[in-house]
Structure 1
Amino acid sequence: MVWDTLSAVGELVGAFAVVASLVYLATLIRVQNKESKIASMHEISIAHREAVAAICEGPMADVFAKAMKDFDSLSSADTLRIIGFVYRFFKI
């Protein structure tokens, strides 16, 4: 009779341990998913900021200004730069 009682108590403790470990793992997975979403949003924000900075600085600003006025008057190299920029910007 004592062994039966000890066996039942042991099974009960084991069941609680399994449930507790599942709750712990679910909490860890939820936190990891939140951190992953935050990290991906941060990367998107950095990429967007770099893309906008590429328009505002250097020779790309001149090419972009020319493209806004008359896209057909751009040289082949400038057209390629604009297309590459637009591809990169929309890929973000």
Structure 2
Amino acid sequence: MHSTEEELEKQARSIVIAKMTYKYVVLLWALVIAGLVLIWSLTTPGGYFWPMWPAFGMGIAATFWGLSLYGRGPFHVKQSQVEKEMERLRSQQGR
């Protein structure tokens, strides 16, 4: 394999791992929210529905993380930004 092929495979592997991690974390968050709803229903059924606040916070985090990961939204990393950072790191190594 050429070095460019190895680099491409490494980059692709990192992307796949990041997307899998995202899916598992979102699943974990859904389980946590389900647990919070269960606690609420066992302790204060019909009372103030406080699990909405952690669900809301986790939902915002999941949304922005997903938008960034899947190449949409304000947090998407552009190739030009990556190249600029690579140049900065190369210049620091050459000091």
Q: Work out the CA distance in 1 between the residues paired with 2:51 and 2:9.
A: 46
Q: Which runs of 4+ in 1 moved over 2 A?
A: 88-92
Residue 40 of structure 1 and its aligned partner are, at CA, apart by: 1.0
Which structure shows the bigger proportion of residues in helix conformation? 1
> Counterpart of 1:4?
none
Q: Which stretches in structure 2 are left out of the alignment for 5+ residues?
A: 63-95
Larger CA Rg, structure 1 vs 2: 1
Aligned: 1:50 with 2:49 = no
> What is the count of residue pairs matched by the alignment?
60
Residue 90 of structure 1 and its aligned partner are, at CA, apart by: 3.7
State the identity as a percent.
3
Aligned: 1:23 with 2:5 = yes
Going from structure 1 to structure 2, the CA distance change for 1:82 and 1:48 (only over 3 Å counts) comes to: closer
Going from structure 1 to structure 2, the CA distance change for 1:22 and 1:56 (only over 3 Å counts) comes to: same
> Counterpart of 1:34?
16
Going from structure 1 to structure 2, the CA distance change for 1:87 and 1:28 (only over 3 Å counts) comes to: same
